[in-house]
């Protein structure tokens, strides 16, 4: 009798455990901090990636700005472990593939697993469900981070193949650099006209936030041969303007949308061990973040997830040899580091992003929340 009761209890318990582990945390109806009603399930998702951004980079966006940053507007914060399947320290390709496809893969892999088999990305899956989709980056649009959302190649340097994948993808709006991978290719193909035949208007000179964007067209902005200029070299508010234009375009049909927005060059400032470069880039990203959070607050149906693929530079805000009132930004490597990086979430479903988990969970959490 007793063993039957115990067995029954275990069955009930295991049912409960398996149930609860696959069911996301129920979201509150009222966001207690903002005081605004939020629905449990978001309609739109904006994933923002500041490449190479750990806590010191985010702290720099406070100390070197106005002592505060838009990151402070979040109440739901977590940490991710970023190792790839091949290395303790990930690169941006494996890091973005973890977010985009929910798998751990090898450094250099774009949207493919350890056996170089293509894995569907969240952008592709949502596109098939009728979402509008967008990718924005301050690197080439074919660089590892954005590429991992729409392309499947075995190695990140295959940017010509990645550009071709973009023309065949379901992306409705993109903005970034990388023009030469479309119009000065080794195979002489003209991908700009290929984009036009796919319904794109392509702009290679400037981005005007007041431009009329037809809901029936797709838009591509390729505003530099390679990466976009650095902020310290006068890039200006490209990231924020592209984000504004992209949100305007993708939201105008009242269809749900998914957007990936990358501050690509925080990473490059870290690799160069140039604090001024890095700080210019993180402040630019923070500015864009402010715009996105304002939009999400107005909209009420948009989940915003902000994170990084890894930290770059082993960056610290060290004291200047014991002078505790002077910060001396210091780097410990020209590469990436293995430290956990923070995740910030706002909007319906945001609570699910608290805790410490693997980078692949970004994909799984968003997917679970949308399928709720
Ligand atoms: Mg990147
Ligand atoms: Zn890097």
Lowest-pLDDT choice from 10-24, 70-84, 158-172, 319-333: 10-24
Q: Which ligand sits nearest to residue 337's alpha carbon?
A: 2
Using alpha carbons only, how large is the chain's radius of gyration in Å?
21
**Percent of the chain residues past pLDDT 90, beyond the cut:** 86
Q: Whole-angstrom Cα distance, residue 372 to residue 362?
A: 15
For residue 83, is pLDDT > 70? yes
Q: Whole-angstrom Cα distance, residue 167 to residue 107?
A: 25
Taking phi over 0 as left and psi of -120 to 50 as alpha, with beta for the rest, 316 belongs to: beta
Cross-strand pairs, 307: 49
**Percent of the chain residues past pLDDT 70, beyond the cut:** 90
Q: What is the model's pLDDT at position 26?
A: 41
Could you identify the residue written with the tokens 């041969």? 225
Q: What is the model's pLDDT at position 250?
A: 97
Q: What is the model's pLDDT at position 40?
A: 75
Ligand 1 centroid, distance to 238 Cα (angstroms): 16
> Which DSSP state fits 87?
-
Ligand 2 centroid, distance to 363 Cα (angstroms): 21
Average pLDDT score over residue span 225-240: 98
For residue 168, is pLDDT > 60? yes
Given the residues 56, 84, 92, 337, the one annotated as active site = 92
End-to-end CA distance of the chain: give it in Å, rounded.
Answer: 40
- Contact call for residues 295 and 247 (beta carbons, < 8 A): yes
Q: Whole-angstrom Cα distance, residue 172 to residue 215?
A: 10
Q: What is the model's pLDDT at position 75?
A: 97
What is the pLDDT confidence band of residue 39, given thresholds at 50, 70 and 90? low
What is the pLDDT confidence band of residue 123, given thresholds at 50, 70 and 90? very high
Q: What is the mean pLDDT of the chain?
A: 91
Ligand 1 centroid, distance to 368 Cα (angstroms): 25
Q: What is the model's pLDDT at position 211?
A: 87
Ligand 2 centroid, distance to 189 Cα (angstroms): 29
Q: Token pair for residue 37? A: 């009603």
Q: Which residues of 196-221 are buried (b: 16+ CB within 10 A; e: fewer)?
A: eeeebebeeeebeeeeebeeeebbbb
Average pLDDT score over residue span 125-137: 98
Q: What is the model's pLDDT at position 254?
A: 83
Q: Whole-angstrom Cα distance, residue 50 to residue 96?
A: 11
Ligand 1 centroid, distance to 157 Cα (angstroms): 13
Q: What is the model's pLDDT at position 3?
A: 43
Nearest to 337 by CA among 87, 9, 104: 87
What is the pLDDT confidence band of residue 7, given thresholds at 50, 70 and 90? very low
Q: Which ligand sits nearest to residue 310's alpha carbon?
A: 2
Cross-strand pairs, 201: 219
pLDDT tens figures, 178-226: 999 999 999 999 999 999 999 999 999 999 998 889 999 999 999 999 9
Going from the N-terminus, what domains does the chain have, and what CATH number goes with each? Answer: 25-370 (3.40.720.10)
Q: Which ligand sits nearest to residue 334's alpha carbon?
A: 2
For residue 140, is pLDDT > 80? yes
Nearest to 235 by CA among 134, 136, 138: 138
For residue 142, is pLDDT > 80? yes
pLDDT tens figures, 252-269: 988 999 999 999 999 999
For residue 23, is pLDDT > 60? no
Ligand 2 centroid, distance to 199 Cα (angstroms): 33
Average pLDDT score over residue span 227-252: 97
For residue 20, is pLDDT > 50? no
Q: Whole-angstrom Cα distance, residue 352 to residue 372?
A: 12
Q: Whole-angstrom Cα distance, residue 37 to residue 53?
A: 31
Comparing 337 with 15, which gets the higher pLDDT? Answer: 337
- 92 catalytic per annotation: yes
Ligand 1 centroid, distance to 91 Cα (angstroms): 9
Q: Which ligand sits nearest to residue 52's alpha carbon?
A: 2
């Amino acid at each position: 009798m007793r063993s039957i009761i115990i067995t029954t209890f275990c069955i009930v318990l295991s049912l409960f455990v398996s149930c609860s582990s696959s069911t996301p945390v129920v979201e509150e109806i009222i966001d207690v901090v903002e005081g605004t009603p939020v629905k449990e399930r978001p309609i739109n998702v904006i994933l923002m990636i500041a490449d190479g951004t750990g806590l010191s980079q985010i702290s720099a966006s406070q100390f070197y700005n106005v002592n505060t940053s838009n990151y402070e507007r979040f109440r739901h914060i977590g940490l991710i472990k970023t190792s790839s399947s091949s290395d303790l320290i990930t690169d941006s390709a494996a890091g973005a593939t973890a977010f985009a496809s929910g798998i751990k893969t090898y450094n250099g892999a774009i949207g493919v697993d350890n056996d170089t088999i293509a894995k569907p990305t969240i952008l592709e899956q949502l596109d098939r469900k009728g979402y509008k989709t967008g990718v924005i980056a301050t690197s080439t649009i074919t660089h590892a981070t954005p590429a991992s959302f729409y392309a499947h190649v075995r190695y990140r340097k295959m940017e010509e193949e990645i550009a071709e994948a973009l023309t065949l993808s379901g992306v409705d709006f993109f903005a970034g650099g990388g023009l030469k991978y479309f119009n000065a290719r080794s195979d002489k193909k003209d991908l700009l006209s290929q984009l036009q035949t796919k319904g794109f208007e392509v702009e290679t000179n400037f981005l005007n936030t007041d431009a009329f964007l037809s809901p029936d067209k797709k838009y591509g902005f390729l505003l530099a041969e390679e990466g976009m200029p650095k902020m310290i070299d006068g890039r200006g508010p490209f990231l924020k303007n592209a984000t504004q234009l992209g949100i305007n375009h993708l939201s105008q049909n009242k269809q749900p949308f998914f957007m990936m927005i990358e501050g690509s060059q925080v990473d490059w400032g870290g690799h160069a061990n140039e604090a001024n470069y890095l700080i210019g880039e993180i402040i630019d990203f923070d500015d864009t973040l402010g715009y996105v959070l304002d939009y999400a607050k107005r909209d009420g149906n948009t989940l915003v997830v902000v994170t990084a693929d890894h930290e770059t530079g082993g960056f610290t805000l060290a004291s200047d040899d014991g002078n505790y009132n002077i910060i001396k930004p210091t780097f410990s490597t020209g590469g990436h580091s293995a430290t956990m990086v923070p995740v910030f979430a706002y909007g319906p479903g945001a609570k699910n992003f608290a805790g410490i988990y693997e980078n692949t969970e970004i994909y799984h959490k968003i997917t679970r929340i949308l399928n709720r």
